[in-house]
Chain A
Amino acid sequence: MKNIVILGAGTAGTMMLNKLSKVLDSKEWMLTIVDQEETHYYQPGFLFIPFGTYGKKDVVKPKKAFLPKGAEFIIEHIDRIVAEDNEVLLESGKVLPYDYLIVATGTEIRPDEIEGMQGDEWHKSIFDFYTLEGAMALAEKLKDWEGGKLVLNIAEMPIKCPVAPLEFIFLADDFFRKKGIRDKVDLTLVTPLDAAFTKPVAAAELGGFLKKKNINVVTEFNIGRVEAEEGKIVSWDEREVDYDLLVAIPTNMGIKAIERSELGDELNFIPTDKHTLQSEERENIFVIGDATNLPASKAGSVAHFESEILFENLMSVIKGEPMTASFDGHANCFIESGNGKGLLIDFNYDVEPLLGKYPLPGVGPFSLLKETRMNHMGKLAFRWIYWNILIKGKEMPIDSHMKMLGKRVPESVEL
């Protein structure tokens, strides 16, 4: 009997397990998946919770419902991976030996990495929306908030779903406008990057977007500390931004078990071959989703495209054949822009988000880098696709590699 162990039963781990269990003979292969939680979260839905569009029931389901029957599901914290012994140690002391290991342990927010963030004001005047708890607390706060300075701060890159901060601020603009208090709310995006849109085509197409919506932007701000009593964030070079309500995107890091395993980089992300998805350390360890150090976005779509590549490559390795599938960094993200509209971006390691139609060239129905109602509908419909097709590991009618057909660079932009 051979063992494949998957660490993490989130989007990436669940997809991988479902794909593998369909083809591997259960008489030869034991499949085990480990996660610290029983609940599967639909994380793209967290964005809608602060504004009351979604509630808790819209984003949670039991993990068990999405895992194949033949596999063993262990709900426990991971202590560490002992790569030289091909073993995973769990906190209870249980040892899981493996022939192949797939690490899909994701990323988590670390407000404790920023001085002064997680004190008495945490979830009172300082909120996150990357956890269900944080998003729910923020929804409570926004319900009867009468206005003031709302500051959205990105602590440092990389973060999970890099477009989420923009979406949040667009939806906040919409939310306060509909509430009739937009004139009482000052919205400011504070980012470590040098602009809200850093890629030439997106900057040319969407550069005026924030101004149009009356959203302030503070750039090249690397947060050093929060002075929660005073209601201000201070950068390392002593610039200050005042807030009444701080929506924080804290440092994102891989889980501590990766650090204990000595397999991670300075943010506990695992050095991974950007094309094969094999870990750089060991041939029998593969890494998928947010847990990797790849220069791709940390997003569900990326995990999905990676799952097809990883599946093919793992099958090759099992058969003793050379790996032939190669990940291109493909990402595909809807961006809510408020007022029932949305944008869509499609890009990879080498090609930045461009204009065009998606997925059918010239047809759509979705428009790339353009604000349309159809894009918003796509984002809402995606929740059904996520639960019913995506994490079950079923075929999606979208190529895992990015396609140039149907894409164009606007004439005004020189790349």
Chain B
Amino acid sequence: METKQLTEAIEFDKDGHLANLEDWSEGIAQELAYLEEVGELNDRHWVVINFLRKEFEEKGDTPTIRKLTKQSGVSTKELYQLFPKGPAKKAAKVAGLPKPKGCI
């Protein structure tokens, strides 16, 4: 499969997030979504992914769930349906961004 080849050539960090942000593409996102058991990406998934990427580009930081649900038009409940079990981390992963971290 073409998508399989896409992720094979790519480097990941030890948390399974893309090591290099510039490696990301829409095809990669779909492949990552399958790996994360998110399934086929629909329009609502893309609203979340595009919001995350735009925020990261502008702020240099992965936005919090609160920011996402307040500003992207996707409610917390829907977000959990789209990215079950840990949307903050899964959505970030599919969007090719690093995982949210604390200070220590």
Contact = CB atoms under 8 A, between A and B. Distances in A.
- To the question of whether A and B form a pair in one complex, the answer is yes
Interface of A: 156-158, 162-163, 166, 192-194, 197-199, 202, 206, 220, 222, 224, 236-237, 251, 265-267, 295, 297, 331, 335, 345, 347, 352-353
Contacts of B89: 194, 220
> Interface residues of B toward A: which range?
20 to 34
A192 B86 CA distance: 9
A163 B85 CA distance: 25
Contact of A162 (B86, B99, B102): B102
B9 interface: no
Nearest to A154: B102
Contact of A156 (B61, B65, B80, B85): B65
Contact of A199 (B61, B85, B103): B103
Contacts of B77: 236
A370 B4 CA distance: 44
Nearest to B63: A266
Contacts of A267: 64, 66-67
Contacts of A202: 104
A193 B102 CA distance: 7
Chain B contact residues, majority secondary structure: loop
Given A156-B64, A237-B85, A266 B76 contact: no
Nearest to A220: B86
Given A157-B102, A267-B64, 8 more contacts: A194-B99, A220-B85, A220-B89, A266-B71, A267-B67, A295-B60, A295-B61, A345-B103
Contact of B103 (A206, A220, A251, A331): A331
Given A237-B84, A295-B60, A266 B103 contact: no
Given A236-B77, A266-B71, A297 B103 contact: yes
Contacts of B101: 193, 198-199
B70 interface: yes
Contacts of B103: 162-163, 199, 297, 331, 345, 347, 353
A198 B65 contact: no
B39 interface: no
A187 to B, nearest CB: 19
A352 B102 CA distance: 10
B48 to A, nearest CB: 14
Contacts of A163: 103-104
A295 B61 CA distance: 8
Contact of B100 (A157, A197, A237, A335): A157
Contacts of A193: 100-102
